[in-house]
Every structure is written in C-alpha cells, then in structure tokens.
Structure 1
C-alpha cells in the first residue's frame, strides 16, 4: 500500500536525506517526490510504498525528527495596504510592529503615485489568527490602512505556507476534518505536479480547486437553483427532469406510484434534492423506486443510498467493488484523473453504494464490434428500455438507454448538450477538463461513441436526455 507524507523541511536537501534514510531503514520504497519552491519553499511531498506497519513506523520516526506537519496549525494569510507619508523611514514603524508580533511577511509591493503618500501592500502570514485584531488596531494608530481581497492565481502572497493556507480556506468553506484536509493537500500537489509537467502555472491548479469548493458551497440550501421539468409520455407515463447547477441531470420515470431514476447527482446536495423530490412526490419515502446508472462517475451516483435496487453494467458493478474494497476505481487507475477524482469524492462527501443493492443488467444480446453495442433490456411498468453499452471512451461501465416508444435516448455523458448549459453549469463544468486534462478516459473512443450513437439514433428523430445540459430536442 502507499501513503503520502506531507513534510515541512527548512533545509530541503539535508532534511530529505534524513527522511530518505529513515524510509530505507524501515523498508519502505519512495515512489514519488514533489517539491516546488515557487509554490512553497518548505513543503515536500514523499509518497512511500510499504505495508501498513512499516508506514506507521515511518510516520512515527519522521515525526520524531520534526518533519511531519500534521500538528501545525494552518493560520491565515492577509493582505494589508498601509497608506504612509512619502518621506524617509516612514515604513520602519510598520515593519517594527510586524516584527513585534512575529508575523511573517509573505508579499510586499510599494510604489510612488505622484502624491505625498505611499501605498504599500504587505502580505502577512499569521500563525495565531487571534492576534489579527490586536495587530490591526495597533497598526491603525500608525497610519490609515485597509484589508484587501486578492486573487491567489494572480499574486503569490504566501510561498512558505501556501498549501496550509489554501487547504485551510477550502476546509473551512466545506467543513472538512484534519484527515480530509491532509488528503486534499496531497492530491492538490499531485494535480499541480502533473500540470507543471505541461508548463501550466502551478497557482492555477489551486485557483481551480478553490473554485470547485466555493461553487459547491455557493449552491447549498436555497441557492440550489435546479431547473425542474415535466413531460407526459405515452401510456400514462410521466418523465421528470431535474437539471442542477452542478452535477448530472436526474431523470425520473413515473407510473402507478413507481419511480425509475436515471442518474442522481452529487452526494453533497442530498438535502436539496430530497426537498425537490418530496415536492414532486409527496409520498416519495413510501414509493417503489429504483435507479439505472448511465456510468459510475460520482457526479451521477451520489444518492444511491436512497435506492434498494441500483441497475448497473458489469463494469459498473466492478467499479463499485473496487471502491468498497478501498481500491482505486476505474477513474483512479488513470494517474491523470486520480487526484481530481479523490478530491471530488472528498469535497462532495461521496460514499460508494452497498454492493447488496446492485442489480446487474444482464446481457441478452450478442455483443457487436461497435463503439456502442446492444447489451440487454430493462422493463418498467410495461415500458421497454433497450440498453446499449459504450466502449469506455468517456467512462468504463457506461450504458445508454433507448425508449423507442417515446423516441427518447438517455445518453449519459456520451452526449451532453453544451449549448444548453446554464451559466452556472458552464462555469462548473469548465473545471474538470483542466484539472483532469480531459473528462474522457480516451477522447478518441469517446468521439467514436458520440458519432456512432447519433448516427444510429438521429437527433433529428430522437430527443436526447443528456447527462448534462438541457434536453436536446429534434429541430422542428
């Protein structure tokens, strides 16, 4: 098994040598090292492969030599603008005050502006946030000042404790515990390392992850601006569609007090979704309900705990078996996708479904050598749904449902309606392609799937119920 140690090393070369000796003595194997002075001059990430007992011993010994950062409080970083007379030594009283509080200066910028005053911006890392007010009160007696907001993707305000400040901000926003915060730091570093190899600016990584967390938080409660649609189908069926600001669409077929869901969105919006569902179906808790997953990405399967029957393909079942056994799922087996996927699970409070609830979509048709091939059939209250499986271009375990009676195609993410995104969906869906480098496991195969599916079921004749975005209706 592997574990990532997040270490604080004032002398990178010497400290890394000591840490390496400890790991070798215990019998561990270093599989990854990451250090980027432009981001954090002290933070060093060491990934080690060993058995559980060896990993625990390594933790203890690294802690003994003061390398582990686990017990260090994250503190906070603030940016203050001081308005000083443009005269000799005017800056000294401010610097002396900062020194008396033992704050670290992480950023400083000053320039003349053709007036009698000099505006100086100073970034401060404050280990004990409780001292912030006392410092600002004292500074206000020296000169006029103001606290500035700042964009971390544009200004490097803290290059000694950046990871801690970044993780503290995200953890505070989403109320994460200490263990979750450490995992967030480690996987954020992995994404940065991958993107750094592509010559991407490292701070853009943290800006995007920060936006991911902020957007999840911003849609909580009454701000969950989901669009809800209803359509009458043949033979007394009703189709309901819930289109959330982020996460997958949820489709619900209703007849005779029975419900069949197709996908169900992020786990973190369970309360918001339940409020909508109870509004649509007052007897929701007592109703018979099942769900079919178009694929096992977590933005499509966060609410599986609500269902006693979850229909999946064989690869979908295997994906959840990996997760239930604490093994990397199919996405996480891709090194470019793994860090983002783990962060997404962490921030959206995802848990894998109980394996006892899974129902395999049985193969009743001969597999074809095609990007999308027949798999089997599902029946719901007299309605026939033809099931096709994709070739894994977007995600392993993906299926498509076709309702020939009503000319509907439930395509999952093989076809998404990008032009039909709301402003919120467009902003949120722009994050994953950057942080994962691509939302597809194999973009060439994904393109083949989409083209083949739309040739087989023409958008001129079928309505596409896409994984994201509005319904894709035939042109009239």
Structure 2
C-alpha cells in the first residue's frame, strides 16, 4: 500500500536544481502530491510531499537527495558575522581572502568595496555559517592575516537574512517550545509551510502568516509566571458561588463552589495551570481538593487544554473526545479536510502545553427534549440546582455543548456567544491571530449564526422570567466578561477585579 512522505530540501538557487530533485522522485516511481517554493520567503528551501510505494522507496529518494547535497535533516543554528576587513591593494588580494571564506563553508550575504570611495582598502562582509563553531575558527585565521573590525557577531540568528529564513524560523520556534529534535521541527516546518501555501493562495502575505504563528507562541509564553494575570468576577447564589476567571489569553475558566463540592467548567490553556492554581489559593478556593468534576464545552486547547492536570473525571461530548484524539478541530465538520484547521490545532496545542483529560466521561447521546433548537442530552445536579447539557449544532466546533440552569439563571455558551466589547485590546489582538491563520474560528459560519440567535433568544426568555424576582440571566461566554442582555446586546455585569502577581 502506497504511503505519503515529506521532504525538506535545501537547494542551490540555480537553473536545473529543482529538476534534478524531481528526477530522483520520478526514478523511484514517486508521485509529488504537494510542492511549495517561494523565493520571497526563502530562495533555497523547497517542501515536497510525495506518495511512494513503501518505506524502502522513501529511503532511496532520501539517499538520492542526500547525494546531491539537497536533503535537509538538521536544523543546526546558523551563525551570522558582519565585519570590515582591510585588504592590501594588490592583484589577487580579494581572491586570497575568499579562499578563507570558502574553506569555512560560509555563505556570503553581503559584500561592499569601492577603491574610489573614502575607504579604498576596506571590504565590508556579511557571512552566514551553518556550523556556528566554525565562526571562531574563521575569525582566528582572518585575524592572523588581516586587520578586522567586527560589526555584528550573532550565533542565535537574529540578524540572518532570508537566504536561511526557515532555519531562522525554526530557531524562533525553539525559543518558544524549548529544545526539540530536528526531525520534529522539520515535520512542523513542513506543516507550517502547508498553511503558508494555502493562505498565500488566498492572497495572504506569507510573512504575515509567519508573524502570526510566532506571535501566538510568544504571547502565551510571555504571560506565564510573574507576568500572569486574571480578570475575576464573583457571583453569589443560594448555596454556591460562581467565579469567572478571564485568563490573559484564550478561554475563561468557571468554578462553581458549594460547601460540599466544586465543579469546573472549562480549564483554560495547559501552560496557565500552575499560575491559575495560585490564583485559586488567593481567592480562598484552596488546592481544589473538593473539585469533583470538570465539564468541557468543546475541544479547543483554550477550553480543554488543562483537563489532564486534574485527577477528576472530565465530562465531554464524544465529538470533543474525537477531535482531541485526531488533533484536528475541523474533525466532524464540513471542512474536515481543511489543512488550516488541522495545522492550527497542532500549533496551538504545542504552544499551550495541551494536556488532555485522562478520566473521560462522555455525555449520553439520547435526546431528553429540546431547549430552543438545542437537544438536551443530559441533566446533572449541583448544590440543589438542575443543569441541562445542550448539544450544539456544530457551528463553532463539532461536539460543542452549552450548560443551562433555568433556576439560577445561568447560561454557559462556550464560544458561540461572546461579549466582544468586554475584550481588552490585547485579548482582541490575540483572538485575531487565530482568525488570520484559519480564516474563520467557526467550522460552519452559517450554523454558528443560527446558534447565536437561538442562545440570545433563550437568554432573553430566561431574563424575562427572572426580572420578576429582581434577578437577571447571566450569560457566561467562553471568552470575555460575564454579561447580561441590554437592548439585545451583551453588557458586562458585576464587579471585575484585575489580579496579577506583579
């Protein structure tokens, strides 16, 4: 049975290079399913996905590319060196100097010399060296022969030009996710290149795509530890308290705490877990030793990503379990084949330390009734209140559910109904990054609109009943502030306390 394999090739920017690589694939009866090369990004790197008969054929193609010097198997940090060198004004001086550069296997990125200029004996040189250890050796040899002035010396890759764009990008990924094997990073680069190809075809600037990927990872990493903060709302009911914790980025975490037990609705990103535990301590919730259950609205990493850190059952829809297993948020939807959704899922799971639940309890599939357009698939009790689990129609994500308690006037809407006006500018910018990388955060925008209108109608009907008692229906969105309806719009309600460790 044929298999699909990927290759990352680093080729000379010269006529016939790509043709030679394609000939090797043809020689072993390979079929190229995808190829992407864009000199605007990196003039030397080409990505292939190839269908081959078996792994033996794959190894032969690898060896063929390796023999040409094309196969990229490592991502060793690239060094950058910029300096002035003063050459004797005689025939062959430049040739002799370039011998040292060639022996060090350095690539020249920039040369500047003019014997009619103000410095007729000075040559300005920029080099990239694939083995950073060779930079010191090269410098020692040059210093013994020439007068040098070092302008820039960088072994991290901050000054590298686009001739080694993907290597530089891999180094920036390493800074976000920590040390990773080259094989893993090359596979990740191939996936990232695939969404760049898709979005470029949709007229998206490829460099904007790379920026969004790095910024997503950096923003998450930079808001942990001493830079972590939350916006907190607290509401009291007869028999329990409700806490809403808006994390720096991603989804909200809700805790419902009674004298007997605590339940959690959604968990936030996994990398915020330790910081969030400190916040719980501050608000008198202790180490959550009374936490009995976690209820998850949907499979996105900012809602389910920390569930595995808790030793309690996580209740979720079978669709949520399947999306987590497939690592593809488009699974079960009409856009299931979308490479944008699939690769975004991999990236955000990686950046956010996605830790799926180990103890899983699935919501039943039997329909107990309807609440508006949503099937009621389960009921559970907490602190003497009955909550309904409402199955979504799959507009935002297959398997998303909502939680509704008519008596308390609580409606947990996941990502189908949000108070965007309550987002801080930083949270709004972070949310836009996902939209750029996927074009839409909803897998079916038409159904998502239908669901939003139905949730608003349910909240409005509940509100009308509660107003007689002097109470309101609290809309607990997956992001943003807990809100109430005002003239058909969501308006933040109650006190919002900002808490941070700085």
Q: TM-score range by the shorter chain?
A: 0.7 to 0.9
Q: Partner residue of 1:346?
A: 350
- The yes-or-no answer on 1:237 pairing with 2:240 is yes
Say whether the 8 Å CA contact 1:312–1:361 is kept in structure 2. Answer: no
Q: Partner residue of 1:473?
A: 484
- The yes-or-no answer on 1:46 pairing with 2:48 is yes
Q: 1:170 to 1:320 in 2, by over 3 A?
A: closer
Say whether the 8 Å CA contact 2:277–2:287 is kept in structure 1. Answer: no
Q: Partner residue of 1:203?
A: 207
SS in 2 for 1:424: helix
TM-score (normalised: structure 1): 0.81
1:251 positional shift: 0.5
Counterpart-to-counterpart distance in 1, 2:424 and 2:44: 42
Q: 1:276 to 1:330 in 2, by over 3 A?
A: farther
Q: 1:80 to 1:224 in 2, by over 3 A?
A: farther
Counterpart-to-counterpart distance in 2, 1:278 and 1:398: 30
Q: 1:75 to 1:390 in 2, by over 3 A?
A: same
Say whether the 8 Å CA contact 1:188–1:205 is kept in structure 2. Answer: no
Alignment of 1:56-71 (within 5 A): 56-67=55-66, 69=71, 71=73
- The yes-or-no answer on 1:337 pairing with 2:341 is yes
1:166 positional shift: 0.6
Counterpart-to-counterpart distance in 2, 1:197 and 1:391: 30
Larger Rg belongs to: 2
Say whether the 8 Å CA contact 1:8–1:69 is kept in structure 2. Answer: yes
TM-score (normalised: structure 2): 0.77
Q: 1:108 to 1:194 in 2, by over 3 A?
A: farther
Say whether the 8 Å CA contact 1:376–1:387 is kept in structure 2. Answer: yes
Q: Partner residue of 1:37?
A: 39
129-138 or 284-293: which moved more? Answer: 129-138
SS in 1 for 2:229: coil
1:60 positional shift: 2.2
Say whether the 8 Å CA contact 2:385–2:408 is kept in structure 1. Answer: no
Match of 2:427 among 420, 425, 428: 425
Say whether the 8 Å CA contact 2:251–2:302 is kept in structure 1. Answer: yes
Say whether the 8 Å CA contact 1:260–1:290 is kept in structure 2. Answer: yes
Say whether the 8 Å CA contact 1:180–1:346 is kept in structure 2. Answer: no
- The yes-or-no answer on 1:380 pairing with 2:379 is no
Gaps of 5+ in 2: 464-471, 487-492, 494-502
SS in 2 for 1:337: helix
Aligned residues: 457
Deviation string, structure 1 residues 139-194 (Cα, Å, up to 9, x no partner): 9953473579x999xx99223x3212211221133214124312320111011100
Gaps of 5+ in 1: none
SS in 1 for 2:305: coil
Deviation string, structure 1 residues 252-280 (Cα, Å, up to 9, x no partner): 10112411111111122232233333444
Say whether the 8 Å CA contact 1:106–1:158 is kept in structure 2. Answer: no
Match of 2:151 among 141, 145, 152: 145
Say whether the 8 Å CA contact 2:10–2:45 is kept in structure 1. Answer: yes
Q: Partner residue of 2:176?
A: 173
Q: Partner residue of 2:475?
A: 464
